Structure formats: C-alpha cells, structure tokens
C-alpha cells in the first residue's frame, strides 16, 4: 500500500474527505518526524513505538575498488510493533 492508497482507505473508513484524510496523514507524519528528530520516541498504544537507534561508526569496503572506508555512525528510525498488532497479524 502506498501513500495515495492509504489516503483513499482512510477516507473510506471515516467520515473524512480525501483532502481531509491527506491533511490528517501529513500532520501525523510531520509530528512523528519532529518528535524523532528531537530524540523522543512516539508510542501509539495498540500499534507500536517509533524510536531512534544509534548505529556506531564502522569500517566498510568500496565494492568497486576494494578500498577500506570509514562509515560514520548514524541514528536510524526503528519501529517496534505492539503486542496487539502482532496478535492481529
């Protein structure tokens, strides 16, 4: 399912128009992104938790040249599904 299909599904399952559903989804994504960028986690009961996980710097290889390169450490987003969601699946 892509974003457009999600917006259509949201409008079918609610009393919102597609335009309102798009605004609601955009607002949700913006709020989650902002919270994660500030280092906070976002917990949605019955669905799951979005958080950041730090991956430390490491050595890697350039596949074309075989040269050893240093890959910088980075914060990456992680999603952990709630038990209720796992039970449904």
Domain boundaries, the chain: 1-40, 52-89
Of 56, 59, 76, 79, the closest CA to residue 68 belongs to: 59
Please work out, in degrees rounded to the nearest 5, the angle formed at the alpha carbon of residue 29 by the alpha carbons of 14 and 43. Answer: 90
In this prediction, residue 82 has a pLDDT band, given cuts at 50, 70 and 90, of: very high
Average pLDDT, the chain: 94
- State the pLDDT at residue 38: 93
- State the pLDDT at residue 69: 93
What is the per-residue pLDDT across 47-56, written as a single tens digit (0 to 9) for each? 999 999 999 9
| Residue 14 CB contacts under 8 Å (≥ 6 apart), including other chains | 21
């Amino acid at each position: 399912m892509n974003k457009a299909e999600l917006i259509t599904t949201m409008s079918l399952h609610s009393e919102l128009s597609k335009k309102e559903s798009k605004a609601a989804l955009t607002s949700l994504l913006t709020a989650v992104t902002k919270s994660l960028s500030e280092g906070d986690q976002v917990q949605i009961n019955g669905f799951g938790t979005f958080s950041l996980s730090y991956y430390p710097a490491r050595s890697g290889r350039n596949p074309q040249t075989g040269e050893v390169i240093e890959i910088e450490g980075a914060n990456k987003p992680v999603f952990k599904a709630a038990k209720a969601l796992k039970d449904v699946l």
